[in-house]
Amino acid sequence: MRYRILGKSGLRVSEISLGTMTFGEDWGWGASKEDSRKQFDTFATAGGNFIDTADIYTNGTSEQYVGDFVRSDREHFVVATKYANAHPGMAPHHANSAGNHRKKMVESLNASLKRMKLDYIDLYWVHIWDGITPVEETMRALDDMIRAGKILYVGVSDWPAWTIARANAIAELRGWSEFIAMQIEYSLIERTPEQELIPLARATDIGVTTWSPLGAGALTGKYTRGDRAREGRIAQQEYQRLTDRVIRIAKVVDEVADELGVSSAQVALAWQLQTGEFIPIVGATKVSQIKDNLKATELTIPSELMDKLNEASRFELGFPQKFITNDFVANLRHAGLVDQIEPHRPDAGFTFSQR
């Protein structure tokens, strides 16, 4: 396992993060504590140190397991958890059961520390934007928690790009702690973060961790290979995201995997890892799945196959990126200023010729 510096910090984290939403069986699915421990040990043995959980995962059981597993070697592991959401299984509910506000933050953080039996959290995520709480309140409260020694770094999950930019700008101006990382859904079937979120991360040195890098299983071959394809058609009636486009992309992933002699899941993860920008969060219910996913760190996809994957997963840029690409770049080309662009990358740089 290689390690990366997380955003604008000095924190070293493994290039893959272990997602623990499957730790616990409280939601009617997931892994027992024994099986969760095996997954954790497999990840740790491979050199993984970055563990991702949340206060609502399996009604708090995930956090309990994570705390039990890391406690004997606490200094080695980077533990990340989240707050902001309410969940039906975590009663009683009240008017402040969810949100980005200070009250929810303080109560959730204290509860997480108690469940995990830890003194501090390495990385504390604001789980989702509530659209109500002023970002000044959230950022100041997070900074207070850092100054109190309860958390070390802060991150943001599932916020619009403009709110992240505003929050970090205010924090920088006022000398508060900034978000060092964002957590977003990103995969070959969900590349829309390339419109705003990923360019923001690149421009301001925010680390990027990605959830559902396997497209909720769609990129593993689960719905496209052998007898399981028939099962996939049944599942398609239940899983609305299995559109014709998703299946088409998944089949291209299968083709690349077959050419390289690896699993489809390894290809989908390596497509992200190879950029050096993203830290995929992998979760599983079986140790065999974790072992297979970790092999993606050893895989190099040739450039022509990367192009094949990028082309298959292209998406509509939307405004203003589409406008910029079609009009502004066309003007530059007409003026003889642009030599080359990469149309599959919304944030692609332009090569300007000497005049």
In this structure, the answer to whether residues 284 and 355 fall within a common structural domain is no
Burial of 166: CB neighbours in 10 Å, binned 0-12, 13-18, 19+: middle
Share of the chain above pLDDT 90, in %: 79
pLDDT tens, 318-330?
888 877 766 666 6
| C-beta separation of 270 from 4 below 8 A | no
How much is the pLDDT for 337?
59
In this structure, the answer to whether residues 294 and 205 fall within a common structural domain is yes
Query: From CA 309, how far away is CA 252, in angstroms rounded?
Result: 7
In this structure, the answer to whether residues 337 and 264 fall within a common structural domain is no
pLDDT tens, 150-201?
999 999 999 999 999 999 999 999 999 999 999 999 999 999 999 999 999 9
160 — phi, psi (to 5°)?
Answer: -65, 155
In this structure, the answer to whether residues 238 and 278 fall within a common structural domain is yes
Query: From CA 44, how far away is CA 67, in angstroms rounded?
Result: 14
86: pLDDT strictly greater than 90: no
In this structure, the answer to whether residues 78 and 223 fall within a common structural domain is yes
123 — phi, psi (to 5°)?
Answer: -135, 120
Crossing angle of the two packed helices 161-174 and 135-147, in degrees rounded to 10: 50
At 203, which CATH number? Answer: 3.20.20.100
In this structure, the answer to whether residues 262 and 346 fall within a common structural domain is no
In this structure, the answer to whether residues 343 and 297 fall within a common structural domain is no
User: Residue 342 is part of which domain span?
Assistant: 316-355
How much is the pLDDT for 128?
95
How much is the pLDDT for 153?
98
**How many domains, the chain?**
2
171 — phi, psi (to 5°)?
Answer: -60, -45
In this structure, the answer to whether residues 323 and 243 fall within a common structural domain is no
In this structure, the answer to whether residues 242 and 184 fall within a common structural domain is yes
In this structure, the answer to whether residues 284 and 334 fall within a common structural domain is no
In this structure, the answer to whether residues 305 and 352 fall within a common structural domain is no
Three-class SS state of 81: strand
pLDDT tens, 33-78?
999 999 999 999 999 999 999 999 999 999 999 999 999 999 999 9
Crossing angle of the two packed helices 287-294 and 33-45, in degrees rounded to 10: 20
57 assigned to active site: yes
Q: Which of 278, 297, 312 is the last residue of a domain?
A: 312
- Residue 105 token pair: 């933050």
In this structure, the answer to whether residues 56 and 112 fall within a common structural domain is yes
